[in-house]
Structure 1
Amino acid sequence: MLFLFALTFSSCENDIEKVSLVTGKSKLPIESSTDMEILYSDSAKVRVKVNTPVMNRFDGENPYTELPKGVSVKFFDENLNVTSTLTSKYAIRKDNENIMEAKNDVVVVNEKGEKLNTEHLIWNERTHKIYSDKFVKITTPDKILFGNGFEANQDFTNYKIFNIKGTITIDKDEHTPNP
């Protein structure tokens, strides 16, 4: 009887990692929100506005915030004028690093109407830079640039393509309808 009692106690010991794997609790968010708007300010002035339909925050050694239904970001100057926008179908923010990765149909548009298209982009909140090592397409009023990798300020007014693959010049006369 004592042997059976000892066997029962030893078999009831649960490894927390095994329990987490079975229950899936380690993958549950600590906070979930819908229709979120997050404002980032500097010196009491709004600099960035982030909107997302769904936000899930996860804790742990490397906490992160997942935006599984996409994100819309507006960057502002000191006068609250929108200087650029960023949208994507998915994003994840690494909370300890202040870095947001935007994925799947990423589009950035600046105040001049220049547009960046890529499938993966990183926004570094500390350095105020956006960059990618993936294929990018930048459309301006007079040309389309293709390349692999780029870096820009978060306003997307000063950018550099690292490995240009091609340039297409847009002839404005071809797109102008005849009177």
Structure 2
Amino acid sequence: MSVTYHHILKSIVAILLVTMLFSCQNGLSEARKFDGDHPTPQTVGENVNLFYTDSGKVKANLRSPKMLDFTNQQFAYREFPNGVEVDFFNEKQEKTTIVADYGIVYSQTDLIDLRGNVKIVTSDTTVLNAEQLYWDQARSWLFSDKKYNIKMNNGALNDGEGFDANENFDKFISRSNVGVQYLDESKK
């Protein structure tokens, strides 16, 4: 009788060990999958207020409630999930301001993606509002495929969908629009 009891006890212990081994193996596999799907930032900045200077002059001032730095990834980027505001200053220290609900800066391509209530106010009072805006820093070029409206410093208005422009907005190409334009016929 004791041999049977001992044999049953060994069988129960063996079943428990095998069950635990397989459950741990599945848990480890699941944990590894979860870790690989969500990259983590190398740093997180709260209430960020960065200044970029050149030769003692402020060129830009960036403010954001939160910045996530993913420059540790193969395709490096910085994300501003709670909004971003940037002031740019030209050689004459004239200010242009850009505000958006969300921003992401891709380090390798110099491309910035701004989304949600994007607003640009230039030093000459031109105001652009858009749902989304891309800014190619290397080419000093802005573009969007989304709805926008712009009020130029001469009073011209334009509502449309999709545009390309240089940073000064003196070259502005709209893909489809409705608006009021003012032409100076004295400059022929």
Q: TM-score, normalised by structure 2?
A: 0.72
Structure 2 partner of 1:53: 65
Structure 2 partner of 1:149: 162
Whole-angstrom CA distance in 2 between matches of 1:46 and 1:89? 24
Structure 2 partner of 1:176: none
Q: TM-score, normalised by structure 1?
A: 0.75
Offset, 1:121: 0.6
CA RMSD of aligned residues (A): 3.2
What amino acid sits opposite 1:97 in the alignment? T
- Choose 21-30 or 125-134, whichever is displaced more: 21-30
Whole-angstrom CA distance in 2 between matches of 1:26 and 1:98? 24
Structure 2 partner of 1:87: 99
Residues 1:65 and 1:87: Cα distance change in structure 2 (over 3 Å): same
* 1:54-73 → structure 2 map (5 Å cutoff): 54-58=66-70, 59-73=72-86
- Post-superposition CA distance 1:9-38 (Å, at most 9, x none): 999779x98544324784321100111122
Residue 27 of structure 1, aligned match among 39, 44, 62: 39
- Post-superposition CA distance 1:120-146 (Å, at most 9, x none): 111222222222122221123523202
Q: Which has the higher strand share?
A: 1
Structure 2 partner of 1:110: 122
What amino acid sits opposite 1:74 in the alignment? D
Structure 1 partner of 2:146: 134
Residues 1:111 and 1:158: Cα distance change in structure 2 (over 3 Å): same
Tell me the SS of whatever aligns to 2:176: strand
Tell me the SS of whatever aligns to 1:27: coil
Paired residues in the alignment total: 168
- Post-superposition CA distance 1:30-82 (Å, at most 9, x none): 10011112233445543222111100011211111110111111111123221
Higher-Rg structure is 2
User: In the alignment, is residue 98 of structure 1 matched against residue 116 of structure 2?
Assistant: no
Q: Unaligned regions of 5+ residues in structure 1, if any?
A: 171-179
> Do the aligned partners of 1:147 and 1:161 also contact (CA within 8 Å) in 2?
no
Q: Which has the higher helix share?
A: 2
